[in-house]
Structure 1
């Protein structure tokens, strides 16, 4: 559901339509005093952010009264307040509808109001401005519903002489559903669960039971397969309640996974899971649950088999619960919500059911399975170290949200290294951890210890400053690179050479005979940061950005005032006009006029002569972005040298 919603939003808004529609009315309360009633209708899945937000988040909504003076506080409906997964902080925002009332005084016949605001959905942000002329006679006025990219202008100050503009119509969203990724993670979790002491000993017992209690081999196979599919169905059903939450209020899933208090609870729960795996105590569900399901399993044929599978899920909870908990929390932090959770649960159940189904066809293989013993205990303790490392992620989430600063990136990685070193020592037989030390270590155990040690060495690069953000394989798990004990060296992404003015960057591109990457971005654009940290940090992408193109980053939310000589007025096709007074307004209009888009992130590859090299791209995955970058660079190799010409004032 959310995938199609995202696709719809991209198609609807990437061509300039504003997801927020304003209307206003002035009601006289005294001589030259009016209550101005503002209403904003907000498209589904979009958020309009409140006034006076904390630094480091989205842009606050600003009401600029041109010929009136505000009296008293702004009144209106209460915004929603909670943890915003996009900006990773607590924020106030509106969905569906906003109503504000502001008392003002003016002697003019109309009230001139200029509104600046930011609205975001799951992938894109709009930085909007709305000039309103409000009559004082009580007339209701609606903001003109205009295409923000349909601009008439004079002097050709912002208009580029672009070629291949038909490629603009070919641009569109590039999004891949991550259901398969979470399904594979579920499979891996299920395979780990098979190797735990709670599950592995039950495999030969259960398969043998179906084989020996059935009248024929065919009946035994059918019962084993029914048992396997019942396991898958049980774990799929566990995700069903989250689908109702997703339908009733989509942000519930994000709130569950990203709330500060819940992150601290998850941290504590995962530590308890780890201690349980270490052998300090056992986690079990109430005994009567397994008794009742076991009794039901003996009453009916295939329904009884279902309850046998339910008994397995209940009695193995002490081992599967921590693994399932990791999967559940990991799914809820992803954008796919409940559907991703279902994919993960189905994957987990499929892996858990696989040996019960396959071995029913080949019962002789049961004799070759390794016997239960001390190796199962090693698997369980190893999972304890993994749970302890995962717990740290939730403490880190709470730390970043609250701004405590107790767990910067380097300290996070150092603690991980300590946990993994202890794990490696355990695998090498250095200590028994609540159990006697083994007299002899298995070769697989020693090999795993070596792999863990090498992973510790890999993590070591994350505790020293690095130009290209190390540990790309773990991107999104440790705190971001900016949450560091080391100071930032540059305000360009990844310390690349970048230019924040089109003509300056174009002159460099002409001099170096390289294509231009136009990066329409924003200081408050979180998905812009995701592309920079997760895609641009890839070695092949980073090399191309550094060596093969000239990067021009244009910040559409930059509120630095333009010099008076650079200020200009643009006129929309409906006759309304807008004065460009800030740097951000200039580049926002520049994007709209030339590329028929007002959303960010938005990337364009073009030759310095204005030739668009391939269709522009927005928020996408690593492989698609790299392919797009290579395609544009290859198309931009022109034998014709250029000389600088300046057109934008």
Structure 2
């Protein structure tokens, strides 16, 4: 599958090699009146097909997050809260090893402001953002919001339909006034069928696993036998047992209904949940409490008064009685299935998938929990073949406790990254997992016992195999402390950039001790010597009489990293880059402020205030291109040796391009 995707990306990149200036996002803005002194500043972007814009909440270490600047606020107005945005999509990026938050088709940003200066007529703002397809572009757009000059009793919204690529005062003057206080927010794209099925199946397996706990497993033969013996005939008994299972599924689904209501009130509630630091800490604490409960320290039970009332309702008989029997099972066995329910809820709410994802997950969980009851109702003759209850059930429960404890730290990691505390670095996270799964291996091998364990005279085959698996997984994790990628669990630990040793513990980050770096140069990927200032690099190239290769790149550029990892790492390519060229890497997303003397405003009114904006503007004005990555070969007169190339994942094609440029220089 990866090879197919690699080929597809190669084809798309080749088709866009000679792409010129592109502007995939068309912006408009409007002002919504809330009260006499409060307004919503609304920025809406229409995104071309196959392009996507990253959210302002994109995690550190990933693609460039959207940033907003509101000018001349002091004494004129104040910002009320942070910029709100329409629901985004979430997808794991295995290059950056973080989740990407992005928008497709359309995006809406809203900033609430309170006016302090009654004579204020306009508010100016800018957005810096990254828009990507097979290449990434850094763009910034300016907005001019025209405030209403008169105040009326009725709320009204002043809509300014401004494409900020061509903002002028005539467009603002033509602002259309509409009687509305609502904002049309982009609808999130629904998850595809394959993704929903995957969620359903994993939740189903979780529900099925929950049946192998001391609270549920003994109930299976008892419940099925009860229905078969209490009914007039076997067909009716089987129907009642199957209906009992269906009620379990229905109850699990019904738990999610309030979340659909919440989502109707606030469409971005799931986005807020998944990125909220305090909710992530709350989920961490809940998971730890559930894990300790599974270890046998205490039991989490529902109030006895509730279970007694529901149990009495089940005596009514008929289908209603069966429904309350199913509800009784869930309440009474909560100490065993509660942690599993918490895991499904926690991961679903943290997925930004909306109430639909939660409902699909709970349907799967309910079906997995009900499946044994339904199966043995249809095949009662197999009841006698079920393994007898015993101490092994508590072992299963303890294993779930260890897994629950390990997963808890994913939520704590989210909170730590969100607050940028750098307390739970990647190495610390992996060390915790090594300790948890190492302890699990010791437990399974009988070297540790917990309060409710039965005496262990020997290891069963299943327990031994599970112990070996846990031990092997623990050993697999250990190299992660020294920078190994750990692709099997790449979705769980913090990214490599969020670590004590981003290059890997003990990695060589300097050239040979007897080699001195040129002034203004630094060591980059694959120990390549690179200049980050254009003029400094050109001067050095003239000194050593070598052609120049400009690498228009970005710190958060996915395809730049793919090129470096998959193409530049090739032995023949790397040899040319090291020996035959002077490499100049210009980062278009560098947020470092330029010295005041170097800041300027372009003819189009764009403010160049950072290093990244400087090199982005240089790329546009000099090479009429704003895509990244972009590779340009120049001679010592700073003229192009051949046609620049963008993302080129085919090694042979990229190597041929390098050789062609070097040959023409010679």
1:473-529 deviation digits (Å, cap 9, x = unpaired): 212312222222225559999769699799999xx9xxx9xx99986x5x5x6xx57
1:312 aligned partner = 329
1:42 aligned partner = 43
Deviates more, 1:287-296 or 1:603-612: 603-612
TM-score computed with the length of structure 2 as normaliser: 0.65
| CA distance in structure 1 between the aligned counterparts of 2:163 and 2:602, rounded to whole angstroms | 19
1:600-639 deviation digits (Å, cap 9, x = unpaired): 9x778999965989xx9xxxxxxxxxxxx86x66887879
TM-score computed with the length of structure 1 as normaliser: 0.66
1:473 aligned partner = 488
| CA distance in structure 1 between the aligned counterparts of 2:55 and 2:426, rounded to whole angstroms | 31
1:483 aligned partner = 498
2:294 aligned partner = 277
Instruction: Give 1:332 shift.
Output: 1.4
- State the SS of the aligned residue for 2:80: coil
| CA distance in structure 1 between the aligned counterparts of 2:365 and 2:623, rounded to whole angstroms | 45
Instruction: Give 1:561 shift.
Output: 5.1
Corresponding residue to 2:407 among 390, 394, 403: 390
The answer on 1:16 being equivalent to 2:17 is no
Which protein has greater RCO, CA pairs closer than 8 Å, 6+ apart?
1
Instruction: Give 1:325 shift.
Output: 0.8
1:219 aligned partner = 236
1:56-100 deviation digits (Å, cap 9, x = unpaired): 995754456xxxxx6944523512489999999xxxxx9435446
The 5-angstrom pairing of residues 600-615 of structure 1 reads: none
Please, which runs of 5 or more residues in structure 2 have no aligned partner? 1-21, 47-52, 58-62, 91-97, 100-107, 151-157, 168-188, 504-508, 511-521, 578-582, 634-640
| CA distance in structure 1 between the aligned counterparts of 2:233 and 2:313, rounded to whole angstroms | 24
Structure 1 residues 569, 309: closer, same or farther in 2, change over 3 A? same
| CA distance in structure 1 between the aligned counterparts of 2:129 and 2:114, rounded to whole angstroms | 17
Corresponding residue to 1:428 among 445, 455, 466: 445
Corresponding residue to 1:200 among 189, 203, 217: 217
| CA distance in structure 1 between the aligned counterparts of 2:594 and 2:313, rounded to whole angstroms | 74
Preserved CA contact (<8 Å) 2:29 2:145: no
Preserved CA contact (<8 Å) 1:49 1:118: no
Corresponding residue to 1:546 among 569, 576, 586: 569
1:295 aligned partner = 312
Preserved CA contact (<8 Å) 1:231 1:352: yes
Corresponding residue to 2:471 among 448, 453, 459: 453
The 5-angstrom pairing of residues 400-419 of structure 1 reads: 400-419=417-436
The answer on 1:145 being equivalent to 2:163 is yes
| CA distance in structure 1 between the aligned counterparts of 2:166 and 2:356, rounded to whole angstroms | 35
Preserved CA contact (<8 Å) 1:427 1:446: yes
Corresponding residue to 1:353 among 358, 364, 370: 370
How large is the Cα RMSD of the aligned pairs?
5.5
Structure 1 residues 592, 225: closer, same or farther in 2, change over 3 A? farther
| Count of paired positions | 537
Preserved CA contact (<8 Å) 1:462 1:471: yes
1:32 aligned partner = none
- State the SS of the aligned residue for 1:476: coil
| CA distance in structure 2 between the aligned counterparts of 1:594 and 1:288, rounded to whole angstroms | 76
1:286-324 deviation digits (Å, cap 9, x = unpaired): 123222323333324223322222222111211111111
Preserved CA contact (<8 Å) 1:496 1:546: no
1:164 aligned partner = none
Instruction: Give 1:367 shift.
Output: 0.8
The 5-angstrom pairing of residues 519-558 of structure 1 reads: 542-544=565-567, 546-547=569-570, 555-556=588-589, 558=591
- State the SS of the aligned residue for 1:483: coil
Structure 1 residues 557, 640: closer, same or farther in 2, change over 3 A? closer
| CA distance in structure 1 between the aligned counterparts of 2:623 and 2:352, rounded to whole angstroms | 28
Structure 1 residues 605, 341: closer, same or farther in 2, change over 3 A? farther
Preserved CA contact (<8 Å) 1:193 1:319: yes
| CA distance in structure 2 between the aligned counterparts of 1:37 and 1:390, rounded to whole angstroms | 43
The answer on 1:116 being equivalent to 2:91 is no
